[in-house]
Amino acid sequence: MEVDRRGSGVHLRGEEMELHSKEAVKYVWHGAIPLQIHLHESEVTTLPPPPPILILGPRLGYLPLLIPLIKPYFNDSLPPGADTFWFDYKGLPLKWYIPTGVLFDLLCAEPERPWNLTVHFRGHPGEILTPCDGEDPVKWSFINSLKEAAYIVNGNCKNIMNMSQTDQSELWQSLAKGNVEGYNRVSSRLKLGPFGEDVTLKMGQGSPQSGQVNSGNESTWAYKVPVRLYLRIIGDVNDIEDATAIVNWDSVFHVNRPIEIHKQEGQYITFKSAIKILLPEFFDDEDEASVCDHVLVTREDNEVEAGLQEAETTASTAAKMAILEDQNCTDFLGLKAESPRPSKIKLIRIQGIEVDLDIPFLWVVNNLRNPEYFLHICVYIGASSKSA
């Protein structure tokens, strides 16, 4: 793997590479965002007001997990009342169940370091955000995402449902503490990846791991990959850094588009090919045709939801509401129709990285996915330079 830093972005390039890299996985797990967190001025009851707290937010973590560090710092300045914490960025309430790194990649067109956030302990915007009263809703949101990923990969989520309480606790604590070794120890028993037979077996030897479908040809395998797309509409701007701040979530589309990939011996589709299938609305017909040989159509969200409804869940009400809130599949063709100029993909980020389009897609999935086995992809959509 070769890492190339240009400007404020990080780019990955690669030619010959293994589909699973321990070095890359550790790079992702150790990723953190410097945060400068301010207490909202309406909640300050002391003079002088408290200075902001500087803290590192793990990319794979969630903002509510930082509250045990933040609350004591501001406690003496808070007014009386019950705590209902939430965060905002430039006035935009932040969704607590989206990983911190994904929020940063999506909301900061030009990476901001430190990232200036505001924390609130009063005045929760219930009409915008589901409440989060501690660690448990975050944990159950994570577990339910893991079930959803398992259903996509295996067609059921029995392996997650059958986890012992000890394993479930160890898996969650490993994520919360950034312990990749502990996480791998438990997650390896879930049989959800990595993807690609080159990782675990030679072509034609043994049997496919979970998530792989034998098509009857020993040299052909299928992989069902859980993907979450976040599309930010930035309008008619020439440079990404000129994009205006998001004032509400209406300009962001969140959709699950899991895809099934068929790999033939000696052939892996590239990241570019996968993006063309995930977002065919933003490519010309002739471009789409060139990648259809190795990628099947996406599975609709209602299939995943139906499978999850059959499984017993122990999620808290808040976690359930958060999941349902974002389970909407958007017709992106409408974006092109409404725009006075054709829409175009301006930028793609995964884990803060602008990935080289020629890297094998399965390498991206294996090494840049989040711990709940979803690959989170942030896409900036702007107007094309071509006239409509």
Q: What is the CATH number of domain 222-294+319-382?
A: 3.10.20.90
SS3 119: strand
Alpha-carbon distance of 146 to 139, in angstroms, equals 11
Q: What is the CATH T-level fold of the domain 136-192, as seen in this structure?
A: Serum Albumin; Chain A, Domain 1 (1.10.246)
SS3 281: helix
Residue 220 pLDDT: 56
What is the radius of gyration, based on Cα positions, of the chain?
Answer: 21
Query: Taking the CA of residue 227 as centre, how many other CA atoms within 13 Å lie in the half-sphere pointing to its CB?
Result: 29
Helix axes 180-187, 22-29, angle to 10 degrees: 120
Triad 184, 189, 192: Cα angle to 5°: 85
Beta bridge partners of 347: 380
Nearest to 216 by CA among 266, 153, 264, 156: 264
Residue 23 pLDDT: 93
Residue 10 pLDDT: 43
| Residue pair 150/190 in contact by the 8 Å Cβ criterion | yes
* DSSP single-letter state for residue 118: E
Instruction: Cite the beta strand spans of 14-52 per DSSP E.
Output: 32-39
Token pair of 375 as six digits: 């690959």
Q: What is the CATH T-level fold of the domain 22-132, as seen in this structure?
A: Ubiquitin-like (UB roll) (3.10.20)
Within the chain, residue ranges assigned H as helices are 22-29, 67-74, 100-107, 135-154, 158-161, 165-177, 180-187, 197-200, 271-278, 285-289, 301-310, 317-325, 333-338, 361-368
Positions in the chain short of pLDDT 70 = 1-17, 197-221, 263-266, 285-342, 384-388
Alpha-carbon distance of 84 to 129, in angstroms, equals 11
Give Cα 176 to chain centroid, integer Å.
Answer: 16
* Helix, strand, coil % over all residues of the chain, rounded to 5: 35, 25, 40
- 25-30: Cβ within 8 A, 24+ apart: 25/180, 25/367, 26/180, 27/3, 28/59, 28/60, 28/351, 28/367, 28/368, 29/60, 29/178, 29/180, 29/183, 30/178
22-132 against 222-294+319-382: fold identical = yes
Q: What are the residue ranges spanned by the domains of the chain?
A: 22-132, 136-192, 222-294+319-382
Beta bridge partners of 186: none
